[in-house]
């Protein structure tokens, strides 16, 4: 199938270039590890958690979702560099599927996020975090969908604004309220009612709740399927929109 073949070609190239410059892995893991080591210990007393492991069960899923959101949102910068080098324009004169131009890149972002997530999960195991493997895979699916959506949106916006100077403040402006209103770092359990009311409208808040439920081993929790459904729908919408930008982007 043409779409699959084209996506694979783009993905391969992107992965190759990524591996050629493995600094990303170090940077991508260093920061979350700092959170894990230096921030998480504060949580047991703050969250009133019975054990350190219980605190990690709440904190690690939030941290992973955070990584998925930010990892995705800032991928647009790489695309602007490609745009400037003429690589995108060169791809667009070939009959390659426009959707593949997007998916090949976004899938690279998903893969690199999952690698980061695995490393962080393994480290958290050292701190007595225990998760059922099946549930963990479902949680990774949630992360993958989030990263797919945020990276697609970032690429779409990058193609629209075409400059780092415009992309950076835009992405920061989007990311900040999303972050604060999702209960990523601390659950919104103790938030005042109005704040919880607003957070309901933040899809990432559902995604975080769902991921936490999975880490807690609570598969029956409605938040799990609701979170997955919401991010899946948004990921599809984001991909469709961004692919359209690839089809008509001007210089």
Partner 1 sequence: MIETRGLRKSFRSRAGRETKTVDAVRGVNLEVAEGEIFGFLGPNGAGKTTTLRMLATLIEPDGGEATIAGADLRKDPAEVRRRIGYVAQGGSTWDESTAREELVLHARLYGISKAEAHRRATRALDAFQLSEYADRKCKTYSGGQRRRVDIALGIIHEPKIVFLDEPTTGLDPQSRAHMWDEIRRLRTEGMTVFITTHYLDEADALCDRIAIMDHGEVVAEGTPAELKREISGEVLLVGLDAASTPRAAELLDTEGYVTKLETVDEGGLRLYVDEGATAIPQVLRRLDGAGLDLRSVELHRPSLDDVFLTKTGRSLRES
Residues that bind ligand ATP (CB under 6 A): 250-251
Nearer to partner 1, 21 or 169 (CB): 21
**Among 22, 50, 95, 192, which residue sits at the site for partner 1 (rule: CB under 8 A)?**
95
Residue number with CB closer to ligand ATP (248 or 251): 251
Distance CA 101, CA 104 (A): 6
Q: Which of these ranges, 13-21, 30-38, 56-64, 176-184, lies near partner 1 under the rule CB under 8 A?
A: 13-21
94 contributes a contact to partner 1 by CB under 8 A: yes
Give yes or no for residue 41 binding partner 1 (CB under 8 A): no
Minimum CB distance to ligand ATP, residue 134 (Å):
51
CB 227 within 8 A of CB 142: yes
Neighbours of 85 (CB within 10 A): 10
Instruction: Give which of ligand ATP, partner 1, none residue 16 binds (C-beta under 5 to 8 Å, depending on kind).
Output: partner 1
Separation between Cα atoms, residue 16 and residue 52, nearest integer Å: 39
Among 60, 64, 79, 96, binds partner 1 (CB under 8 A): 96
Nearer to partner 1, 95 or 169 (CB): 95
> Which does residue 126 bind out of partner 1, ligand ATP, none, counting CB within 5 to 8 angstroms by kind?
none
> 241 to each of 170, 185, 207, 247, 248, how far by Cα in Å?
18, 30, 21, 10, 11
Q: Could you tell me how many helices (H) and strands (E) the chain has, helices first?
A: 12, 0
For partner 1, give the closer residue by CB, 14 or 106: 14
What burial class does residue 14 get, using C-beta atoms within 10 Å of its C-beta: 0-12 exposed, 13-18 middle, 19+ buried? buried
Residue 10 and residue 105 in contact, taking contact as beta carbons nearer than 8 Å = yes
Nearer CB in complex with ligand ATP: 20/251: 251
What is the C-alpha separation between 119 and 111, in angstroms, rounded? 13
* Residue 45 vs 248, nearer CB to partner 1: 248
- The b-or-e profile of 44-57 (16+ CB within 10 A means b, else e) is beebebeeeebbbb
> Which residues are within 8 A (CB) of 163 and not within 5 positions of it... i.e. 6 or more apart?
80
Min dist. Cβ of residue 55 to partner 1 (A): 42
If contact means CB under 5 to 8 A according to the sort of partner, which of partner 1, ligand ATP, none does residue 96 touch?
A: partner 1
Q: How far is the CB of 58 from ligand ATP (least distance, A)?
A: 49
Q: What is the DSSP letter of 162?
A: -
- Residues lying near partner 1 in the complex (CB under 8 A) are found at 2, 6, 9, 13, 16-17, 20-21, 82, 85-87, 89-96, 248, 250
């Amino acid at each position: 199938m043409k779409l699959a073949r084209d996506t694979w070609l783009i993905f391969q190239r992107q992965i190759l270039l990524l591996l050629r410059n493995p600094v990303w892995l170090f940077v991508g893991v260093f920061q979350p590890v700092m959170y894990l080591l230096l921030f998480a210990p504060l949580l047991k007393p703050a969250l009133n958690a019975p054990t350190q492991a219980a605190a990690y069960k709440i904190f690690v899923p939030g941290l992973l979702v955070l990584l998925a959101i930010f990892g995705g949102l800032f991928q647009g910068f790489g695309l602007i560099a490609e745009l400037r080098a003429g690589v995108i324009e060169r791809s667009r004169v070939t009959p390659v599927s426009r959707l593949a131009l997007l998916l090949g890149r976004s899938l690279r972002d998903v893969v690199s996020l999952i690698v980061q997530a695995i490393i962080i999960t393994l480290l958290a195991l050292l701190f007595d975090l225990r998760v059922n493997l099946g549930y963990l895979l479902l949680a990774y699916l949630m992360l993958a969908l989030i990263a797919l959506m945020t990276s697609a949106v970032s690429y779409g916006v990058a193609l629209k604004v075409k400059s780092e100077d415009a992309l950076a403040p835009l992405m920061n402006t989007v990311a900040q309220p999303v972050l604060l209103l999702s209960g990523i770092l601390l659950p919104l359990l103790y938030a005042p009612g109005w704040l919880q009311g607003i957070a309901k409208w933040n899809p990432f808040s559902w995604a975080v709740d769902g991921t936490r439920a999975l880490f807690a081993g609570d598969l029956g929790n409605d938040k799990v399927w609701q979170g997955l459904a919401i991010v899946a729908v948004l990921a599809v919408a984001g991909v469709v929109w961004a692919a359209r930008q690839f089809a008509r982007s001007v210089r």
